[in-house]
Amino acid sequence: MTAATPALEIKGLQKSFAGVRAIRDLSFTVPKGHATALIGPNGAGKTTVFNLVSGVYGIDAGSIHVNGTDITRMPSRQRIRSGVARSFQNIRLMGHLSVLENLLVGQHVRASSLCALITPYRLIPNHKWKREARRALEESGLGQYADETVGALPYGVRKRIDLVRATLAGANVLMLDEPAAGLNPSETNALRDHLKALIASGLTLLVVEHDMHFVDSICENVVVLNFGEKIAEGPLSVVRKDPKVREAYIGSDEE
């Protein structure tokens, strides 16, 4: 039986900045319809990996495949169209716009023609993008915020709206950079339920997160980095017992 094509496959990835090796021969895969965590101490290279996959930085060596397609040399905009998107540690919503307007702006990356790009959706009462955005908000339990100004909303709600915007870009592989950072317990639980629903719908997640309880609740597999090198991979319950992981990240006094 042929193994299923992974949603994301990274092979032999290498990246240096001013002679300093940031990523060292990194290889791992993310299976479709599952969540994988990328963990490690500050400065381990986690966000650099996100920047390489999303096209912010070019790579020095190696390859990146999304759903079997080689995106290694693709411009970042084309990578979004190929099915990979990301959220950022710092929310990048436009606070002066409504929730719905932020989602409509996010959908523009899917425009396949100049006509579609300049369509005056504000003047069309039942534009398809509006219908899709409102439906996504309802399915995420955020429908009541559609016409609210983003800047007036609680931080946890804005985090989840940013997540909805990323999914509306048409992604089937979503990279999340510290999605639970700054959330209170109730907001964290709401985000966890939201992500579980996305996974159940078939979305694939790659998550950078320091909250190990959060990671354990949604991720079946973790990849551990230290100084840009993979030092362990597997279920969290296994890798947290690895001496190299305990020393580099979790700590020798962890249970």
Mean pLDDT of 109-116: 50
147 has pLDDT over 60: yes
Residues in the chain, how many?
A: 255
Check which CATH number belongs to the domain holding 66 and give it: 3.40.50.300
Range of the domain at 168: 8-250
Q: How far apart are CA 222 and CA 35, in angstroms?
A: 9
Instruction: Judge whether 255 lies within some domain.
Output: no
CA–CA gap between residue 47 and residue 162 (Å, rounded):
18
Range with top average pLDDT, 66-75, 85-94, 96-105, 113-122: 66-75
User: Which range, of 8-17, 38-47, 110-119, 243-252, averages the lowest pLDDT?
Assistant: 110-119
Please say whether the dihedral angle defined by the alpha carbons of residues 155, 36, 59 and 112, taken in this order, is positive or negative: negative
Q: Does residue 3 lie in a domain region?
A: no
Average pLDDT, the chain: 85
* Residue 1 maps to a domain: no
Residue 2 domain-assigned (yes or no): no
Strands 20-30, 8-17: parallel, antiparallel or unpaired by DSSP? antiparallel
Residue 68 lies in a domain: yes
Cβ 170 vs Cβ 110: under 8 Å: yes
Q: Tell the burial category of 175 from Cβ atoms under 10 Å away from its Cβ (0-12, 13-18, 19+).
A: buried
Residue 123 burial (CB count, 10 A): 7
Is residue 184 over pLDDT 50? yes
Neighbours of 55 (CB within 10 A): 20
Q: Per the domain annotation, does 126 fall within a domain?
A: yes
What's the pLDDT at 19? Answer: 85
Q: Has residue 159 been placed in a domain?
A: yes
In total, how many domains does the chain have?
1
Which residues, 6 or more positions from 154, have their beta carbon under 8 angstroms from its beta carbon? 187
pLDDT surpassing 70 at residue 125:
no
In a domain, 18, yes or no: yes
Closest CA to 209 of 180, 237, 166: 180
